[in-house]
Chains A and B, each alone.
Chain A
Amino acid sequence: QQQVKQSPQSLIVQKGGISIINCAYENTAFDYFPWYQQFPGKGPALLIAIRPDVSEKKEGRFTISFNKSAKQFSLHIMDSQPGDSATYFCAASKKSAGYALNFGKGTSLLVTP
């Protein structure tokens, strides 16, 4: 059972545009929500993460928006660049499970020049 649902499956954005990826979860026990970026043949790299007591977190061009009541969170990539082309995974974890990550299915982002 997929505990974190991610959309869209794929996304094409022009250079300079905003990329938006959405995730939803059901388990209210989740207390940590990271986003990972993965290039082909590489392990995932932590991009940015948020806790449910914060509605937004920004790091450079990457912003997480978090809606606790709707149990949704999203990643916004501002001024998207071709180098951002990768697969992005949202995840959720909880302390009671040792912070094991429950991943979404991933979004393949292509930023065109």
Chain B
Amino acid sequence: GAVVSQHPSRVICKSGTSVKIECRSLDFQATTMFWYRQFPKQSLMLMATSNEGSKATYEQGVEKDKFLINHASLTLSTLTVTSAHPEDSSFYICSARDGQGSGNTIYFGEGSWLTVV
């Protein structure tokens, strides 16, 4: 089946530093990738949608200058949390849309735990 790889799975960074999370679609071309944030025992909240080669579309309330998203190729999207603070600690999950067939199947990565100390 389709696989979406996310790296790193866990990262600890100091407050004020930046951290980058990568999301790769391993066996399909992902024209669209999505980034979610999930707090413990809560649902996934969409942060932004990125299309290959264009700027990401951010959901209301998500700071685009803080959460930098780059979708440079059909298989790679990155999320950079800039000037991270403890309140940014969360589970970040990417997903990728398989553009083949009906084009609406979305696969998720394994998620990245970010802890800001």
Contact = CB atoms under 8 A, between A and B. Distances in A.
Interface of A: 31-32, 34, 36, 41-46, 49, 89, 93, 95, 98-106, 108
A44 B108 contact: yes
B93 to A, nearest CB: 5
A42 B91 CA distance: 9
Contacts of A44: 44, 93, 108
Contacts of A93: 104, 106
Contacts of B110: 42-43
A98 B97 contact: yes
A98 B51 contact: yes
B6 interface: yes
A93 B32 CA distance: 14
Interface of chain B, helix or strand or loop or mixed?
strand
A102 to B, nearest CB: 8
The 4 closest A-B pairs by CB, nearest first: A43-B108, A43-B111, A43-B110, A99-B104
Contacts of B91: 41
A100 B34 contact: yes
B34 to A, nearest CB: 6
30 contacts: A32-B104, A34-B105, A34-B106, A36-B108, A41-B91, A43-B6, A43-B93, A43-B110, A43-B111, A44-B93, A46-B107, A49-B105, A93-B104, A93-B106, A95-B104, A98-B49, A99-B32, A99-B103, A99-B104, A100-B34, A100-B46, A101-B44, A101-B46, A101-B95, A101-B106, A103-B44, A104-B43, A105-B42, A105-B43, A106-B42
